[in-house]
Amino acid sequence: LLSPAPLADLDTAALREAHAAFAQAYDELKAAGLALDITRGKPSADQLDLSNDLLHLPDGAYRDAAGTDLRNYGGPNGLPELRAIFADALRVPVAQLLALGNSSLTIMHDTIAQALIHGVPGGELPWGRQSISFLAPVPGYDRHFTILERFGIRMIPVPMNEDGPDVEAVASLLAADDSIKGMWCVPVYSNPTGAVYSEEVVRALVSMPAAPDFRLFWDNAYAVHHLSDDRPAPIDVLALAAEAGNPDRPLIFASTSKVTFPGAGVAFFGASEANVAWFQHNAAAQSIGPDKLNQLRHVQLLKDADGLSAHMEKHRTILEPKFAAVDTAFRERLAPWGAGTWNAPKGGYFVSLDVLDGSAKRAVQLAKEAGIAVTPAGATFPYGDDPRDANIRIAPTFPPVEELRTALDGLCTAILLAEAETLLA
């Protein structure tokens, strides 16, 4: 039997032998006729079950705490009770936190559209009348990149570290180029690397010199999505930005998509008073108010900040074994061959795996041909272009754990074969 050693250290004969063994394992995998999917970060059915009370709430009730009839138009800022539940976790004062529609991605998209058409506070011209660009920490969230591609906004990749984006790279880019108007930030359990921005990084981002209409798109999608007891203290980016003399720099986004029901949840927007006023002015032309009955349902389900924490603990109980399964599979199958490096995130929805340079696309293709759908390689980079062709995003939340194990094992088989091919080429 072949004994594992780092593939990169093998001589050609040993590599050929390994390749033959991997090819045989791959043929067996293909013959198994699997049909598995680990592409997107969706909650599993048993996670969705945690919020099933939403299906019968608000149970005849239709007034908020102030007695307002929520069945009617109005209340553009959203239910104060719901905003209060999330204010602490997001570190945004209730008065500056709006509860809106069902998707934070929609708010991000529309905020950029409004900035393109009208400009933002502090800016001289609408973004759309300038040739503008955004900084995109990589690997990052593909749908962020898609918004910018759709609007024709140039993206400049910047490297991610374990404590957030490389602030020196960010600072030197911003200093050299005032066409940079925005930057994507997923400050807590970043998609896909799980990185948590340190306070030092956040202070640097809010204080470094930049164009007056430069904005941090602070997508705090995973603020309460912990997978361990080792939790980052929430960072008050608005206060730090104000302290640094740039109160209008952060625009905060979040949602209950992975708290309750994706697509039937509630999204939030938070910012400085000036930005909130700008946002409200734009939003007033778009809508006569959000779905406040859905917000009421959410208040009844979650009750308060403690209720939110307790609810997220139930998610954690379901998710922990799945993230452990990823770590175990890679440890057992990839590590002995030196075939990958990955993170063990303390929260969020993803694991980021780096395979041998030049092997990610091939590995994902081989997995697909064996009936295992994985997020396309390159998706975590602007324009789908991973210059090293090394990064693969693993989304372990959706499948039942047994299916996940089978999919991961098959993916490892595909990765080993792809790497042996790369090294023999």
Residue 231 contacts residue 316 (beta carbons within 8 Å): no
Neighbours of 67 (CB within 10 A): 6
The least distance separating ligand PLP from the CB of residue 213, rounded to whole angstroms, comes to 23
CB of 337 to ligand PLP, least distance (A): 30
Closest separation in Å from C-beta 260 to ligand PLP: 11
Neighbours of 198 (CB within 10 A): 17
DSSP string for residues in 293-315: HHHHHHHHHH-SHHHHHHHHHHH
Least Å from the CB of residue 109 to ligand PLP = 9
Q: How far is the CB of 168 from ligand PLP (least distance, A)?
A: 24
User: Residue 18, exposed/middle/buried by CB under 10 A (0-12, 13-18, 19+)?
Assistant: buried
Q: What angle do CA 403, 405, 410 make, to 5 degrees?
A: 95
Residues that bind ligand PLP (CB under 6 A): 41, 103-105, 141, 186, 191, 219, 221, 255, 257, 262, 267
Residue with tokens 């509860």: 99
* Shorter beta-carbon distance to ligand PLP: residue 141 or 342: 141
Residue 75 vs 194, nearer CB to ligand PLP: 194
- Measured from the CB atom, the residue of 16 and 143 that comes closer to ligand PLP is 143
CA distance 18 to 26: 12
Least Å distance, CB 152 to ligand PLP, is 21
Q: How far is the CB of 411 from ligand PLP (least distance, A)?
A: 20
| CA gap 176, 168 in Å, rounded | 12
In whole angstroms, the minimum distance from the beta carbon of 380 to ligand PLP comes to 11
Nearer to ligand PLP by C-beta: 267 or 372? 267
Nearer to ligand PLP, 41 or 290 (CB): 41
Element (H, E) at 402: helix 401-424
> What is the smallest separation between the CB atom of 394 and ligand PLP, expressed in angstroms?
14
Helices 199-207 and 167-176: crossing angle in degrees, nearest 10, is 0
Cα–Cα dist 54/393, whole Å: 31
The answer to whether the beta carbons of residues 377 and 360 sit under 8 Å apart is yes
Residue 65: exposure state from Cβ atoms within 10 A (0-12, 13-18, ≥19):
exposed
Cβ-count burial 79-92 (b if 16+ within 10 Å, e if not): bbbbbbbbbebbbb
Q: Put the strands of the sheet holding 164-165 in their side by side order.
A: 97-99, 267-271, 250-255, 215-219, 180-185, 133-138, 154-161, 164-165
Nearer to ligand PLP, 278 or 398 (CB): 398
Tell me whether residue 41 or residue 80 sits nearer to ligand PLP (CB atom).
Answer: 41
Judged by beta carbon, residue 253 or residue 330, the one nearer ligand PLP is 253
95's CB contacts (< 8 A; 6+ apart) are none
Nearest distance from C-beta of residue 105 to ligand PLP, angstroms = 3
Nearer to ligand PLP, 155 or 418 (CB): 155
Count how many Cα atoms sit within 13 Å of the Cα of residue 195 in the half-sphere of its side chain.
24
Cβ nearer to ligand PLP, comparing 114 with 255: 255
Question: What are the helix (H) ranges across 98-244?
Answer: 104-118, 142-151, 167-176, 199-207, 237-243
